[in-house]
Structure 1
Amino acid sequence: MEYLDFELPIKELEDQLDKCQIIGQESNVDVTDTCKQIEKKLEETKKKIYKNLTAWQRVQLSRHPNRPYTMDYVRALCGETFLELFGDRAFKDDKAMIGGLGKIGDKSFMIIGQQKGYNTKTRQYRNFGMANPEGYRKALRLMKMAEKFNIPVVSFIDTPGAYPGLEAEERGQGEAIARNIFEMIRLKVPVIAIIVGEGASGGALGIGVGDKVYMMENTWYSVISPESCSSILWKSWDYKEQAAEALKLTSTDMKKQKLVDDVIPEPLGGAHFDRETAFKNVQEYILKGYDELKDLSTEKLIAKRMDKYSKMGEFKE
């Protein structure tokens, strides 16, 4: 397990607990009471740290290398029923964007999402979760296929942004994202979007327009990353923590501003500490969201979705 800077007190206590247990196993000394005291202090320390996280610390948790990625959720929720589909039928298959058919519970869904890598080799293969235009066009192709066969769509968002390279711009990155937003607003089937990690800029919006938009507790959703915001405003990354607070990018902030529908709770310490509970919570929200949408007529579904996004950004002075 890798630890973030603010998690080091937890690491120290866990190391102490391990040493205490080893002493008990290798000697005749009774260390039961000592181990219990360390366990109690460890639990108290975890609660104190994770119940008082700053915006920047939540950004760090969303990027934790042990955190489950999109394919982890797909495998856990769909098992052997997931059938991956490839290509945008125009240029090539984008490995940063995955998609396919799968069953969650007893209901079939078209599942799309950004996928990051687990090590240097797979991160390069997945382009660090940053999709090119062909990735967004693949996602749109699959969503239109789902519409044709009346299959609801589930979108898993986890990206530091759309790929900003010259070749991506040459192939129409901005147009591809804008086209997805335009088409998703009027898609004739229910769309459920979940931010499971990073939700940055147009890279997230390109598959993020949904009837239900959920954020996991330790994720962020913003037009720009704290580091980029800091570099623009202060010409340095040193103010990234201040930028994170100012951007109001946490799940709590987004729910308060009515930009997402709900926050999916995570196990203490984050989704990577107890993956099974995280998977169970996500499945529960997907099925609950679908149950609320399945009986709406096509006209009502689209009207509600358009009304929802039209109201965003309204305010009174």
Structure 2
Amino acid sequence: MGVRDELGKDLDGLDAGVGGLQTVTATVFDVTEDGKVNISMQGADIYGVACTDAYRNRKAGDTVAVRRGAVPVVLWRLGDDPADTEQADIEQIATQTAQDVQVVRAATYGTGAPAGSGWQTASAVYVRKVDGKIEVYFQVASVADPSPGTPSVPAPKAVSITPSASGTWRSGRPDDYAAAPTQGDWTGRGNRRGGWFYGSSIQSACAGKTVSKMTVAFARKTGAGVNAKRPLHLYLHAHSSPPSGQLNLGSGPEELLSLSVGAKGTATLPAAWVAALASGTAKGLAIYAGGRADYMAVTGGKITISFS
């Protein structure tokens, strides 16, 4: 049964003596990969709570209204008017869209001079390509109407790089029993380390450009480790593809992101790591931890590269 059906059933069956639909406030501390949320409510942590369509742009830290019951449901977010908080995002999307579209209002031709006013005779035409766009310059004998200025060249669009492979290593060799990159040791058979591999894609994407930021997105699988938030212990590595022997770790660890069970999140990589990945000194990312405390399995690994 869907969230709407559950909510409708509860509303239809309310007893007047109960005082109506019972809601309480809660705090979201993680958003899961399937769009649900993990919340703190009345002193307890509850995982995998479904949400109505009214709760959009879900993120950790939100204060929300929750329908209590055996199956709690997040009804909506409490806070500022979204019209204020979303304006910057809308403007950014509109600006990017305008930059992606090359516009000429009209292109006509004929054997005679064009009709109407404002036309200028061009004695020569020049063209060039800048940032993948065509620029056209017309040389005229005299300027009857001032030319518009040439817009500045925008920063290259961000690029997302998906791992070409991933895996887990234990005792110096690949661990085929792990379905996703894993850190730590739950059973006492040895610490695991997981890795994501990108070939030369990161270095190629950065060639000839100025990198301003790299972020990486991860999601924590259910059924591995404790439910509470635990940190990913991130490392660099220098393997372009999965090694047949040990996955050797580079710089690290960095605890850039903590996730509860089922949650997804994005981490911003340190500047030194960005430089290493962009130059090809480092090739990918890894996770490693000792013992049970931070044991978890992780999926994702998509790196987004922003330029300036």
Output the TM-score relative to the length of structure 2: 0.25
Output the TM-score relative to the length of structure 1: 0.25
Higher RCO (CA < 8 A, seq sep 6+): 2
Structure with the largest fraction of strand: 2
Structure with the largest fraction of helix: 1
